[in-house]
Structure 1
Amino acid sequence: RPRNKTPTANVASDIIERLQSVCNRADPTTIYQNLVKIGQGASGGVFTANDTVSHRSVAIKQMNLDQQPKKELIINEILVMRESRHKNIVNFIDSFLYGNDLWVVMEYMEGGSLTDCVTSNFMTESQIATVCRETLGGLAHLHSKGIVHRDIKSDNLLL
């Protein structure tokens, strides 16, 4: 007699199907080359790469799906990023399911994080005001779409 899938397996299968429906089905390794690891977060590694089509540098967040406790939140994050284009937000480019990894491709911000900037540079009051104004512009855009960021910190402010 065949065994039924466990509810956990059904949920995981449903999430993978939903991810497949929102992700590009192409092989990202044919588009993005020369990956260099620039960071490691709780959800995975962050790399820079060259886009062989547009010839621009991009940032790629690679997440092993087996290590993601809240996979359903990843789908929402992709959908939110896809719809949130603004000059003060790191813009989403594409997403891929590659093996058991999710690749989220975003524009690359060469200036690094605000944390990196303030630990190695002195910022004038005018520069601080500019960072605040631009950050608030991005947040206002998100709030106008009913989106709350929930993780505002200098590590997440990219220049």
Structure 2
Amino acid sequence: MAKMMHKLRMELDAVDKQLLAALQRDAHLTSEALGQKLNLSSSQAGRRRQRLEQAGLIAGYTARLDPAQLGLNVQAFVQVQMATHDPEKVRTFAHVVAARTEVVSAWTLTGEADYLLRVFTQDLSALNTLIHQVLLPHPAVARVQSQIVMDQFKADAPLPT
């Protein structure tokens, strides 16, 4: 029987949770600003942030860009059903997905679809090209179904802490 490995979960106190929530809202906060928000000295806030980074709770810092300002006018979710689960073909499919800048995230699913891809393209023509010239021709792919986002009424939110 295969042994399941679980990453030990770090115990977070209320201040750690407040710190994580504050950084999700604004990753540019200095130790001084964090200290003010958390009622800590800037050195205490800085040490806590560093401890959470070293423990892997803070995986990195990024900037959120506005897709419309970049000319990415179509957002879609693309479900992919595989024709085969041959490890080598699945691996090549994963490499194709990873190489496509239009695909901003991808998940393995349970249910009818095997994968869900979140995609941003300039227009419907570019989405069509991705689906019909990249995804569907892949030998591991049986079926692709897309849903075009009409409006996103809740932005990507911070994770609950």
TM-score range, shorter chain: under 0.3
Q: RCO (CA 8 Å, sep 6+): is it higher in 1 or 2?
A: 2
* Higher strand proportion: 1
Larger Rg, first or second structure (1 or 2): 2
The two structures have a TM-score, normalised by structure 2, of 0.25
The two structures have a TM-score, normalised by structure 1, of 0.25
